[in-house]
Structure 1
Amino acid sequence: MTESSRERGPAEGGRPLRRDAALNRERILQAAREVFSEHGLGVTLDTVAHHAKVGVGTLYRRFPTKEALIRALFEEDLKRRQDSAERALAHPDPWQGLVDFLTEMATDLAANRGLHEVLMLGAHTSAPIETARGGMLPFLDALIRRAQASGDLRPEVNPSDLPVIQHMLHSATRFAEGSRPEIWRRYLEVLLNGLRERPDNLPLTTPSLSDEDVESAMGIVRPGASGSPGGDAG
């Protein structure tokens, strides 16, 4: 065995990988990110292997199931969402913090079908991903309450409205992706104008979805949980 083949890369399962194995792993992850972003999670592992220019056996040695590959790929994406929410909560302007968070999330979801399916639809989920998805809800509650306390956000808005808004923006992207994939930015502006508190606002007459309704739609399962983490939606 040559010295170069004994070089170690990132750890997997507690054991460091050889350099060539580590490079194959990164190649597979990059290929999966590109394929899942463009086509969603319905593509096969064979397709990912072909895109990565590695043998199918090599892919299965690193990721024996699609769920294992998705978990490795999207746990970091979900952590970035929480980091984005923390930055928004630290922003000195509560309204701008909320706007920044909504814009960052919409940007990511517009460019990445796979992330949308994992985050918003609960596709190919796992316990670590469920923990990360569920962990977003308290952040949403804090962002909403903070912007309402400052008088910038209309009081009828609930944390459960934010996932619905993101799903609407993603749908706008898919509707016009062949010609105007960035059109979601226009509709985010429309929605922000409707969310902003103004003296002449007409009251919203249709109730929001409950936290439980949104969690059900997103496929979030909370075994043994008693109530939502964000408190009452009202």
Structure 2
Amino acid sequence: MTDRLPHPLRSDALDNRDRILDAARALFATEGLKVPMREIARHAGVGPATLYRRFPTKQMLATEAFADEMRACRAIVDEGLAHPDPWRGFRLVIEKTCELHARSRGFTEAFMATFPNAIDFVAERAYALNSIAELAHRAKDAGHLRPDFVLDDLILMLMANRGIQTTSEAARVAASRRFAALVIQAFQASPQHSPLPPVARLAPAAPREAG
């Protein structure tokens, strides 16, 4: 008897997987985990049979989508750590993490509420916090990060970023980019007021006073 090695997915199968996961994350973020599987298949441009062949249950699909989200977070942190300039690396982590959270707002909360024991993310969270603490220490030593910065400040910033409420994802991402730029200036040891990203209109324009 010969042992059969698992075959890697063909490129079309990988494309289908990526499209399904992208569609699932987008719909889970906007409509919650109650969105029908057939709607996810339609949004991904694949047939229901293809979806169920890759992900037989919604929990399997949501768990894989969430695992991809965690891998994206780790990749951002690793990219920041690898940057030769610790301040630029620190800024990169803030900017990209804020945008990632803005695009997936609602998905994390829905996943944790629906499948609280599906993934143990304690180790991932500890890795991210330890890595950012190291990056922050290097940025302080370089004289760019204010000396009184603590990790709780970053957690507070991420909590605030998750609270951005808009009518569309595009507006939420725009608001998150501007918020991240403001936070980075607040964290800088000697703020240099570089131009901010475009304003995201979150409220109706104030009425003009009668002349």
Range of TM-score over shorter length: 0.5 to 0.7
Q: How does 1:105-116 map to 2 (within 5 A)?
A: 105-113=97-105, 116=108
1:117 to 102, 109, 113: 109
Write the deviation string for residues 203-232 of structure 1: whole angstroms up to 9, x where unpaired: xxxxxxxxxxxxxxxxxxxxxxxxxxxxxx
> In percent, how many aligned pairs have the same letter?
32
- What corresponds to 1:190 in structure 2? 182
Residues 158-194 of structure 1, C-alpha deviations (whole Å, 9 max, x = no match): 223323312312323x246488430222222222222
Residue ranges of structure 2 left out of the alignment (5+ in a row): 192-211
Task: Report if aligned partners of 1:81, 1:105 keep a CA contact under 8 Å in 2.
Answer: yes
What residue is the counterpart of 1:164 in the other structure?
Answer: 156
- The answer on whether the counterparts of 1:88 and 1:98 sit within 8 Å (CA) in structure 2 is yes
TM alignment of 1:65-214, pairs within 5 A: 65-113=57-105, 116-117=108-109, 122-123=112-113, 124=115, 126-127=118-119, 129-172=121-164, 174-175=165-166, 177=168, 180-181=171-172, 182-198=174-190
Q: 1:111 to 1:95 in 2, by over 3 A?
A: same
Q: Distance in 1 between matches of 2:155 and 2:11?
A: 41
Question: Aligned partner of 1:95: which letter?
Answer: W
- Whether the aligned pair in 1 keeps the contact of 2:70 and 2:124 (CA below 8 Å) is yes
Query: Which of 47, 51, 57 is residue 54 of structure 1 equivalent to?
Result: 47
Give per-residue Cα distances to partners, 1:82-110, cap 9 Å, x unaligned: 22212212222221111111101112222
Amino acid at match of 2:154: L
For the 8 Å contact 1:78–1:133, the answer to whether it is kept is: no
Give the secondary structure class of the aligned counterpart of 1:127. coil
The answer (yes or no) to whether the contact 1:109–1:115 under 8 Å persists in 2 is no
Contact 1:90 1:97 in 2 (8 A): yes
Deviations 1:57-101 (A, max 9, x none): 664443233331122223233223222212212222221111111
Query: Which stretch has the larger CA shift, 63-72 or 122-131?
Result: 122-131
1:138 Cα offset (Å): 1.5
Contact in 2 for aligned 1:82/1:139 (Cα 8 Å): no
In structure 2, what is the Cα distance between the partners aligned to 1:93 and 1:16?
Answer: 38
Instruction: Give the TM-score taking structure 2 as reference length.
Output: 0.66
Deviation at 1:198? 4.1
**TM-score normalised by structure 1 residue count:** 0.61
How many Å separate the matches in 1 of 2:169 and 2:25? 20
Query: Number of paired residues?
Result: 183
How many angstroms apart in 2 are the aligned matches of 1:197 and 1:17?
A: 49
The unaligned stretches of length 5 or more in structure 1 are 1-10, 200-234
